[in-house]
Amino acid sequence: MDRFVILSGCSGGGKSTLLEALKRRGHHVVEEPGRRIVIEELEGDGSALPWVDAPAFARRAIAMSLADREEAAKIPGTVFFDRGLIDAASALEHLTGEPALISLGQLHRYNRHAFLTPPWPEIYVGDRERRHDLSAAVAEYERLSAAYPTLGYEVHVLPKVGVEERADFVHSVLGLE
């Protein structure tokens, strides 16, 4: 879907903050599946936490991403996603070798412009839901930096600037007012 725009990249690189700025500008946003899953799992039995059973976590993120896309199809206008199906499929493929990325990534498209947050050590912070360290986040970023172009996306690495300038950058690339 051309109106579905993905924000991906390095954990702790400012995706959620940018998403909030885009929301303040009147856009619809979909929060990161992984963080929602971790919150649910911490309140439940915790069997699909990424540090307990990473493949189960990735499979759950794929299912949630597909459901998010279905719900977002009902919303008019541009919808910004904090991560999504490609990130989850890339993780599952990395963890298990299952060829999920190409099949899911080709079948369920986003806007051709994909925005990636680069590693930004100065703002990286772990928390209750983000327990991996910066080196794991950088490794994930490198996998995603390779995955998106492989699927035909034009990748735009977000500049390390303030959130409003990042939102302006996204608007400029997409031709949004």
Task: Kindly report, residue by residue over 136-174, the tens digit of the pLDDT.
Answer: 777 889 999 999 999 999 999 999 999 999 999 999 999
Within the chain, what is the greatest distance between any pair of CA atoms?
Answer: 45
171 burial (CB, 10 Å; 0-12 / 13-18 / 19+) is middle
pTM: 0.90
Rounded CA gap, 25 and 48, in Å?
34
- Give 5-27 as a DSSP string: EEEEESTTSSHHHHHHHHHHTT-
Task: Kindly report, residue by residue over 82-140, the tens digit of the pLDDT.
Answer: 998 999 999 999 999 998 988 888 889 999 999 999 986 566 555 555 555 667 777 88
**Under 8 Å between Cβ of 144 and 8:** yes
